Amino acid sequence: MSTLSTPSSKPARRTPFTPSKRPLSSSSSSSSSSDLVNRLNRTGSSSSGTSNILGSTHKRYKAPVSSESRPRTYTKPLSTIPGSPRPKTPYERSKTPTFEDSPTSKMDVSNVDPEAVLVDSETVEADVSAEMDEAWLRTMSADHGKRDKVMVSIRRVFFFWHLYSAWIASSSASSIHLDPVHAKSGAPNPAENKFDFDSVLTGSPNKPIYSTVAQSHVYAAMEGYNSVIFAYGQTASGKTYTLSGDESEPGIIPRAMKDVFRFIKRNEEREYLLRCSYLEIYNESIHDLLAPVGSPAVMIQGGGSEVILNPLREEVVTSLKGVKDVLKRGESHRRTACTDWNERSSRSHSVFRLVIESRERGEALDESFHGRVTPAPSGRQTPGVSGRQTPGHGAGGKPGPKLQARGGRSVQTSVLSLIDLAGSEKATSDKERTREGKYINTSLLTLGTVIGTLSENVAKGKSDHVPFRNSKLTRMLQPSLSGNARISVVCTINPDISAIAESTSTLLFARRIKGVKLNAQKKEIVDTDALIERYRKEIEDLKARLAEKEAAVGDRRQSSSVSVKRRLSVKEKTDESKAMKDLNTRIQQLTKLILTSQTVDESSADSRPGSPVKIDFDMSPYQLQQELLAARLQLESQATQILSLEAALEARPPIPPENERDKMIADQAKVIKELEIVVRGYESNLGEPLRAVREDVEREWMGKVGDEVRKREEKERWADELVKQLEKEKHMRIKVEDQARALTAFVTKLDALGLGGLSLGSINKENESLGSPGKGEKYVSLLDQVPEEEWSMTGDFSFEMEKVPAMKREPFGGKENVAL
Ligand SMILES: Nc1ncnc2c1ncn2[C@@H]1O[C@H](COP(=O)(O)OP(=O)(O)OP(=O)(O)O)[C@@H](O)[C@H]1O
């Protein structure tokens, strides 16, 4: 924990929005408070009531808060040497209420009018103006926001009792390697023993660390980029010393805060709204270090690039002193304890955030637009750790106002996050410390896995799942690690031989995080109302100029005067028509821009249905009135809709808090598992028997169906046979009929020749001489024995017919003894 130095004296300060410079008291505390009260009083006209409330309580806000005011059970250890065993001291957060523990403070963001607490080059404390390295700033500003990789630096501590360092650091080569003597002592692979980074630093002074590791990121945050700086390393390796430092060697956080105000001091064009929050992740739950003891844990809502921390107290700061107070308060609430390695070991990951909102200064413009500017909506949006817009909260989750884009001036929003991670450690001799250590190690392991997956995805062009949700730390850092922030990591290394394995692990983590790709973007909110007004004015001017030109052309044509009517040269004509064309094009462009910015404005307003407005500048006043009426009606119907939606929202069952949701998800997973077991049981217990029954039924019926098919096929064959027989019979009948006709003709011929008297007996005799048929038998055609109508029904009788010699057959018609 650091104790920040307080400047001893302060020169005069200016108040915002007033040209007059009013000297203030030299006491930093009173100067701060009186300055604030004065400013609040001055802006009272625009923020009715706010100034009075703040004015009446400002003394409480200004009361200094020291860590001593919080009784702690922590006792100072005997030794301060890291690495040597220490007596164990338990700790706990103070239960004694102080004014900071009240549910709300004067500078809580929900209590202040943002316009009254802006900081600019005139109001910023003068003591921060020193030590501005302009050359450095110019070099660095060229780089702001352009880095697409994490900046990784190594800090190797070296204490006098470390007679010897196992790690040889080269600051000039920005590399560090293990002394070959120890190459086998803990390093996994000799080739892995040399590491190159953006910078490698040694020594105790914190100033070079700050300027190398953090300064460019702080400036990037001031210029609108989200920035994250964190320290990673084994326990007692110097992370807190690097981030917070001590009175003689302030660390990154106090130096960064000083630079924030320096930046404001030298930047005369912008004004700033600064808000701080301070939280810690202890045993996988998030605690607001600025909230009263016993406040509910902070929840992480949303996911992906939309991480929201709620409820999280945000305090507006207007001076370095204000930031120091906030830091002191937060640090007094941090969980630290004596471990075997560190007399004051951080038992949690701590995150200090500064939300920076800024816009161009411009009071004159503000006044001209004052009547039109929309008042701050109640659902103020402030960025989460990542800089994404999340619902901003003051004490108790109360929303506060935000800095408004005004007079055409856009508002830039960014977040500077300074993170002191708890150190990885082996099991300690204390049970409670070991339990904490497990949480710490698990979340650091998850951070390592997340970083490893991210850099592997980049290196191999993959998109493997990144387990951000496996720990609170990685979930909170997800938007930043996913790319929308500039990140600088300081990895602290213990030079001791006994820590070679841990130091190697830290260096491997540092090497992996180098591979994470970043693409930080500035976030800017544009005042579309003002832009539209500007465009409208420009259109009017252009239209007037165009009308002038057209009138001039008309005059020339109509004029009888020779000098006026003189013929224009080709060039003059071309220039004139080009000028008119340009004017028309610009008018069209501006009209389009108006439509675009209105559409953008509407679509950016959350949950507001888009209703693009078309502006026709040639409309008559009557038409405009009609439009206005229609718009009013639409507004009314939208208001009704909003009311009914609000009612529906209230009627909706409340969204359970995160731990309950996790429980519900776990319960549902349990139910799904049970159902899966039931389904499997159904398959093995019921599914199998049912399948057997079906197979039996199928077997039985398949036989029957086969018989039936066979029978049908037989019948079809039989029917075919019958058809064939019938065809044959028909054919035979035609043949027999032909023969009958021939015989009749023959008999008729014989009759005509007078040979009809031949007796049958003579024929028979003749037949006998031929040897067939037998004695006494007559030649009778079988056809004569079959009734004519049955011919078609008889079988094949061609055989009998063929036996009948052509000349001896009986005539048809049943005639016996026919005389031949
Ligand atoms: N570069 C340094 N120069 C001088 N003293 C240092 C340096 N680094 C660390 N120390 C001292 O070493 C001790 C342990 O350092 P520190 O608490 O910063 O370690 P840490 O990594 O934050 O440990 P933990 O993870 O347990 O919180 C402190 O007393 C600190 O003052």
In whole angstroms, how far apart are CA 408 and each of 271, 381, 534, 597?
A: 15, 20, 8, 12
CB neighbour list of residue 523: distance below 8 Å, 6 or more residues apart: 224, 226, 383, 387, 389, 412, 413, 414
Atom from ligand 1 closest to the CA of residue 244: 18
Distance separating alpha carbons of residues 493 and 154, to the nearest angstrom:
7
CA of 504 to the centre of ligand 1 (A): 18
Q: Which residue type sits at 145?
A: G
Q: Whose CA is nearest to atom 14 of ligand 1?
A: 236
Confidence band (pLDDT; 50, 70, 90) for 339?
A: low
- pLDDT single digits (tens) 684-723: 666 667 777 788 888 888 888 889 999 999 999 999 999 9
Start-to-end C-alpha separation, the chain: 153
**Over the chain, what is the mean pLDDT?**
69
Query: What's the DSSP call for residue 817?
Result: S
CA of 496 to the centre of ligand 1 (A): 14
Q: Is the separation of the CB atoms in 186 and 500 below 8 Å?
A: yes
12-16, 620-624, 696-700, 768-772: the lowest-pLDDT one: 12-16
User: Mutation test of ligand 1: which of 209, 240, 253 has the most ligand atoms closer than 8 Å to its C-beta?
Assistant: 240
More confident residue, 73 or 775: 775
- pLDDT single digits (tens) 589-603: 777 666 655 544 444
pLDDT at residue 587 greater than cutoff 90: no
Q: Is residue 521 annotated as involved in ligand binding? A: no
Q: Which residue type sits at 485?
A: A
Place of tokens 């799942």: 465
pLDDT at residue 419 greater than cutoff 70: yes
> Given this model, what pLDDT does residue 110 score?
62
DSSP 210-236: IIIIIHHHHHHHHTT--EEEEEEEBTT
CA of 616 to the centre of ligand 1 (A): 68
H/E segment holding residue 740: helix 688-752
pLDDT at residue 90 greater than cutoff 90: no
- pLDDT single digits (tens) 527-558: 556 566 666 777 788 888 888 877 877 776 66
Q: Which residue type sits at 493?
A: I
Backbone dihedral angles phi then psi of residue 373, each to the nearest 5 degrees: -65, 130
Q: Which residue type sits at 3?
A: T
> Given this model, what pLDDT does residue 730 score?
93
Q: Which residue type sits at 277?
A: S
Confidence band (pLDDT; 50, 70, 90) for 286?
A: very high
Give strand pairing partners of 346.
336
Q: Which residue type sits at 659?
A: N
> Given this model, what pLDDT does residue 201 score?
92
Place of tokens 């360092």: 165
Q: Is residue 237 annotated as involved in ligand binding? A: yes
> Given this model, what pLDDT does residue 192 score?
63
Q: Is the separation of the CB atoms in 444 and 424 below 8 Å?
A: yes
Measure CA 684 to chain center.
Answer: 43
Any residues with Cβ below 6 Å from ligand 1, and which?
A: 80, 82, 157, 204, 233, 235-241, 342, 344-346, 422-423, 492
Helices (H), 344-430: 363-369
